[in-house]
Amino acid sequence: MNKRYQLNEGIKSTQLRVIKGNGENLGVIDKKEALALAKLEGKDLVVIVETTTPPVAKILDFNKFLYEEKKKSSAAKAKSKKSELKEFRFGPNIGAGDLNDRVERAKEFLAENNRVQFTVQMKGREQAYPEIAFEKLEKVEKDLKGIGRIEDRVKKMGNRVMATFIRG
């Protein structure tokens, strides 16, 4: 929200379409006359739309106007949903039905534009066979084909093997 507004004497145009703070349209008037009206009310003359001919200016309290604009932009920012990372953890000996349940749940998350991470956590002697974990993640990748794709390559970190999926 770094928009610069033309304000009072800084307005470049000589003719302006002026609107009062309550929404009353005063029509196209001279800049000097509009400034006099704004001073009479103890408010500022602010160009709202510069691209039209003549530019649209409004008589209002500039600080209050900036506050309202900031409030609107922060409300819009709060409403926009950020992509979340959902994680599924399981061991290399997970059953086919349980793995299918997680894949189905992952499809729902991917449909909502969330990222999904599958982590195969190995304990004890399971760590001697990391290829089993890689096979499980390959099966997940095959099941998610068409709905999601691997964001990066499958990674092994310590006793974990991980793959992150994004929509696509």
Q: How many CB atoms lie within 10 A of CB 54?
A: 16
Looking at per-residue pLDDT, the higher value among 2 and 132 belongs to 132
pLDDT at residue 2, as a whole number: 59
Express each pLDDT in 19-66 by its tens digit.
Answer: 988 888 888 999 899 899 889 988 999 998 888 888 999 999 999 988
pLDDT of residue 9 exceeding 90, the answer is no
Residue 1 lies in a domain: no
State which of 78, 94, 110 marks the end of a domain: 78
pLDDT, one tens digit per residue, over 87-115 is 999 999 999 999 999 999 999 999 988 99
CATH number of domain containing 18? 3.10.20.80
Average pLDDT score over residue span 62-74:
89
Q: Considering the domain boundaries, does residue 19 fall inside one?
A: yes
For residue 1, pLDDT over 60 is answered with: no
Global confidence as pTM: 0.54
Asked whether 122 and 159 are in contact (CB, 8 A), the reply is yes
Domain that holds residue 16: 8-78
110, 144 Cβ separation under 8 angstroms:
yes
Domain-located, residue 98: yes
Check which CATH number belongs to the domain holding 105 and give it: 3.30.110.10
The rounded distance, in Å, linking the Cα atoms of 61 and 38 is: 10
Amino acid letter, 64: K
pLDDT band at 160 (very low <50, low <70, confident <90, very high): very high
The domain tally of the chain equals: 2
105 and 131 fall within a common domain:
yes
Looking at the structure, tell me whether residues 74 and 110 fall in a common domain: no
Q: Which amino acid is it at 53? A: T
| pLDDT range class, residue 157, cuts 50, 70, 90 | very high
pLDDT the model gives residue 87: 94
Check: CB of residue 37 under 8 Å from CB of residue 26. Answer: yes
Residue 99 resides in a domain: yes
